[in-house]
């Protein structure tokens, strides 16, 4: 019950201490990590946004250059020059010399007829009138197509410009090498997870991405999410990984250059920092837990000791309070009993006196009367003894101080009891410390103490045994121990032995007041009396008497 109380207290202290000390630590760690990762993510986002914008500019420039050279060629040659002889292949050569990346070049008249062609495919003679781009270029003058398969059945895109030559108009059309174009876009791919590609407004790949699909396939990106120049969004890819996507619209507003990146790759520094932080926090928590448990354990065990000591003190206090109260009561009761006893004794005495008168001398039952009177007197005497020892006459007297030789007092007491012991075949051995000083005390009281303890020891043994009396100086005390090899006192009775009227002796043999008076005398001297007893082995009473040096006369 008591133990669980302490365990509970310990638990509570540990929990509260841990809560108070760990909560701020954890909150700090989490906040720091969150802030740090936010900063890190912002930085990554900034980086990817920048790269996307820069790459879009590069791609724009590429397309602008290609369109410009195509326009310049159309403007500097007339229709007839282009469709006749070797002029077209010469133009193609010049264009690839200055700009490169063109696969083929063709001239188409206003009816959509492919009149001249330079390139690896046999496209001359095809009519493009029905192709959607044809109408577009005829109306707008410049046109860059989406990637498509076309007649050649390979993904590609074209740049076309219209030349107005008097009433006549014609179109110079070039195909851009998708590998070169793709290569330019891909140069923005970095790291192990970075990707860079172009998609059109419908989300169809215009260049080969590094992962997840290929040219002309659906990208699963909603281009409506991207607005302005460059937008960064976070989205799960088809494999379920969170990726950052930075999309920049090209100048033609048809294509979106996308750079994607797994932020975790960039955040390895953050993770390292996080691991260090977690390590520090965990070791901190461990240290706090250990320290808390250790100090709490220490505190609680101190508390427990203090409680124990207090309980002992309380028990002692209760004991001495109890005895003091009983002492007061006894004094009051004594008066009430002694007065009737006095009357009984005198009345009996009076009857005895009268029996000597002549007319009684011949009475029939004279001897009976005398016998009765004698017994009444005996029992009054017995009652008187009980009351007087209850009062403990010696202790009631103001202890008068005289020089006392403890060893001498012990020896005198043993002399008085020697005969009684010998008749019961009990040996009394002494082991007295010669260096015990003469103290100021009440010899009669001390003698009563030793008398009570030694005669108790003899009575405890009964017959055949050994009583050992030992005196020692212990610091500022004199310790006298009286040991017997009698039957011992059971644990439950040990506390009661100093209570008045507690006796194990037969009726009329012991008053149960000896140890009570002894206890009172020793307390009055400022000393202490303790006992150690084990059933079957014997009992030892130890009396501690403080050394009071007598005043020099």
Partner 1 sequence: MDYFRVLIVDDEKPFVDTLVNRFNKRNIDTTGVFSGEEALELMKEKLFDVVILDIKMPGGMDGIETLREIKRIQPLSEVILLTGHGSVETSIEGMKLGAFDYILKPVKLEELLVKMADAFEKKDAHDQKIRSAKIKELIRFPGRVLEQEKEEE
Most distant CA atoms of the chain, gap in Å: 193
Q: How many residues bind partner 1 (CB under 8 A)?
A: 25
Task: Give the position of tokens 């002889």.
Answer: 85
Cα distances (Å, whole numbers) of residue 35 to 39, 276, 278: 6, 16, 15
Torsion on CA atoms 495, 498, 504, 506, rounded to nearest 10: -160
CB atoms under 10 Å from CB of 253, counted, come to 8
The dihedral region occupied by 378, where left means phi > 0, alpha psi between -120 and 50, and beta the remainder, is: alpha
Q: Evaluate whether 270 touches 39 at the Cβ level (below 8 Å).
A: no
Q: Should residue 341 be labelled a site residue for partner 1 when binding is judged by CB under 8 A?
A: yes
**Phi, psi (5° rounding) for residue 55?**
-65, -40
Closer by beta carbon to partner 1, 83 or else 345: 345
Please check whether residue 257 is in contact with residue 250, taking contact to mean a CB–CB distance below 8 angstroms. yes
**Pair 511, 387: CB distance under 8 Å:** no
Which one of residues 253, 398, 435, 492 is an interface residue with partner 1 (CB under 8 A)? 398
Q: 26 or 331, CB closer to partner 1?
A: 331
**Smallest separation, CB 387 to partner 1 (Å):** 8
* Comparison of 322 and 495: residue with beta carbon closer to partner 1: 322
Under rule CB under 8 A, residue 353 binds partner 1: yes
Shortest spacing between CB 445 and partner 1, in angstroms: 13
Q: Which of residues 240-259 bind partner 1 (CB under 8 A)?
A: none
Based on C-alpha coordinates, what's the Rg of the chain?
60
The minimum distance between CB 355 and partner 1, in angstroms, equals 12
Q: Which residue from 350, 360, 379, 420 is in contact with partner 1, where contact means CB under 8 A?
A: 350
- Quote the least distance from Cβ 341 to partner 1, whole Å: 4
* 173 Cβ contact partners less than 8 Å away, ≥ 6 residues apart: 105, 106, 107, 108, 137, 158, 159, 160
Residue 551 makes contact with partner 1 by CB under 8 A: no
**CA-closest candidate to residue 106, choices 98, 96, 91, 135:** 91
Is residue 396 within the footprint of partner 1 (CB under 8 A)?
A: yes
Nearer to partner 1, 49 or 395 (CB): 395
In the complex with partner 1, the residue whose CB is nearer, 341 or 438, is 341
Q: Is-contact 545 525, C-beta < 8 A?
A: yes
- Residue 532 in contact with partner 1, rule: CB under 8 A: no
| Rounded least distance, CB 369 to partner 1, Å | 17
Which lies closer to partner 1 via its Cβ, residue 129 or residue 393? 393
Q: Minimum Å distance from CB 15 to partner 1?
A: 59
Strand partners, 104: 175
For residues 121-150, which are near partner 1 according to CB under 8 A?
none
Check binding of 342 to partner 1 (CB under 8 A): yes
Residue closer to partner 1 by CB (options 303, 331) is 331
- Count of other CB atoms within 10 angstroms of residue 98: 11
Judged by beta carbon, residue 190 or residue 337, the one nearer partner 1 is: 337
Collect all residues with Cβ–Cβ distance below 8 Å to 322 and sequence separation of at least 6. 499
**Nearest partner of 274 among 55, 549, 39, judged by Cα:** 39
Asked if 376 interacts with partner 1 (CB under 8 A), we say no
Q: Is 330 in the site for partner 1 (CB under 8 A)?
A: yes
Residue 380 in the binding site for partner 1 (CB under 8 A): yes
Q: Does 325 bind partner 1 (CB under 8 A)?
A: no
Instruction: Candidates 39, 346, 464, 530: give the one binding partner 1 (CB under 8 A).
Output: 346
Out of 44, 56, 184, 391, point to the residue binding partner 1 (CB under 8 A). 391
- Binding segment toward partner 1, per CB under 8 A, in 152-160, 202-210, 333-341, 458-466: 333-341
- Please pick, from the candidates 210, 388, 470, 532, the single residue that binds partner 1 as defined by CB under 8 A: 388
Residues in the chain: 553
Smallest distance, partner 1 to C-beta of residue 344, A: 7
CA distances (Å), 464 to each of 379, 417, 484, in order?
A: 32, 15, 11
Shorter beta-carbon distance to partner 1: residue 24 or 524: 524
For residue 339, state whether it binds partner 1 (rule: CB under 8 A).
yes
The H or E element that residue 360 is part of is helix 358-361
Of 287, 397, 416, 535, the residue at the interface with partner 1 (CB under 8 A) is: 397
Judged by CB under 8 A, does residue 349 bind partner 1?
yes
d(CA 518, CA 395): 9
Contact with partner 1 (CB under 8 A) among 198, 259, 334, 497: 334
Is residue 355 within 8 A of residue 369, CB to CB? The reply is yes
* Inter-residue contact 138 to 162 (CB < 8 Å): yes
User: Which element (helix H / strand E) includes 130?
Assistant: none
- Other Cβ atoms less than 10 A from the Cβ of 24: the count is 10
Q: Identify residues 261-320 at the interface with partner 1 (CB under 8 A).
A: none
- Tell me whether residue 294 or residue 360 sits nearer to partner 1 (CB atom): 360
Binding site for partner 1 (CB under 8 A): 330-331, 334-335, 337-339, 341-347, 349-350, 353, 380, 384, 388, 391, 393, 396-398
């Amino acid at each position: 019950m008591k133990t669980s109380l302490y365990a509970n207290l310990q638990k509570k202290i540990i929990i509260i201490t841990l809560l108070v000390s760990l909560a701020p630590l954890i909150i700090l760690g989490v906040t720091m990590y969150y802030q740090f990762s936010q900063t890190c993510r912002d930085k990554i986002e900034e980086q990817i946004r920048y790269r996307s914008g820069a790459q879009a500019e590069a791609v724009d420039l590429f397309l602008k250059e290609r369109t410009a050279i195509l326009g310049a060629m159309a403007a500097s040659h007339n229709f007839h020059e282009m469709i006749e002889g070797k002029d077209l292949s010469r133009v193609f050569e010049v264009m690839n010399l200055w700009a490169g990346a063109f696969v083929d070049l063709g001239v188409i008249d206003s009816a959509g007829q492919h009149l001249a062609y330079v390139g690896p495919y046999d496209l001359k003679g095809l009519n493009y009138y029905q192709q959607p781009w044809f109408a577009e270029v005829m109306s707008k003058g410049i046109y860059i197509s989406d990637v498509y398969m076309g007649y050649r059945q390979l993904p590609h895109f074209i740049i076309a410009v219209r030349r107005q030559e008097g009433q006549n108009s014609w179109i110079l059309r070039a195909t851009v090498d998708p590998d070169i174009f793709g290569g330019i876009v891909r140069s923005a791919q970095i790291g192990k997870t970075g990707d860079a590609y172009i998609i059109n407004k419908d989300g169809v790949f215009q260049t080969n991405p590094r992962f997840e699909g290929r040219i002309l396939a659906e990208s699963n990106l909603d281009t409506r999410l991207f607005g302005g120049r460059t937008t960064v969004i976070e989205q799960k890819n088809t494999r379920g990984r969170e990726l950052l996507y930075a999309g920049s619209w090209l100048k033609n507003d048809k294509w979106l250059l996308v750079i994607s990146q797994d932020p975790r790759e960039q955040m390895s520094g953050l993770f390292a920092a996080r691991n260090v932080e977690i390590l520090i926090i965990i070791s901190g928590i461990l240290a706090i837990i250990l320290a808390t448990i250790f100090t709490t354990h220490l505190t609680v065990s101190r508390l427990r000791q203090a409680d124990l000591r207090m309980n002992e003190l309380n028990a002692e206090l209760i004991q001495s309070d109890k005895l003091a109260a009983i002492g007061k009561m006894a004094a009051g009761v004594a008066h009430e009993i002694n007065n009737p006893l006095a009357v009984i004794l005198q009345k009996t005495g009076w009857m005895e006196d009268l029996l000597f008168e002549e007319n009684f001398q011949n009475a029939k039952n004279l001897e009976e009367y005398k016998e009765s009177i004698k017994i009444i007197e005996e029992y009054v005497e017995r009652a008187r003894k009980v009351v007087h020892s209850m009062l403990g006459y010696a202790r009631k007297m103001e202890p008068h101080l005289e020089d006392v030789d403890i060893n001498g007092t012990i020896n005198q007491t043993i002399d008085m009891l020697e005969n009684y012991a010998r008749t019961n075949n009990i040996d009394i051995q002494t082991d007295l410390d010669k260096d015990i000083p003469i103290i100021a005390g009440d010899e009669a009281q001390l003698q009563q103490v030793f008398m009570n303890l030694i005669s108790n020891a003899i009575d405890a043994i009964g017959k055949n045994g050994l009583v050992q009396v030992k005196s020692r100086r212990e610091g500022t005390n004199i310790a006298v121990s009286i040991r017997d090899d009698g039957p011992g006192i059971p644990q439950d009775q040990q506390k009661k032995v100093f209570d008045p009227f507690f006796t194990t002796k037969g009726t009329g043999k012991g008053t149960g007041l000896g140890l009570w008076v002894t206890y009172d005398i020793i307390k009055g001297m400022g000393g202490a009396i303790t006992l150690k007893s084990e059933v079957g082995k014997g009992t030892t009473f130890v009396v501690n008497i403080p050394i009071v040096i007598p005043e020099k006369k």
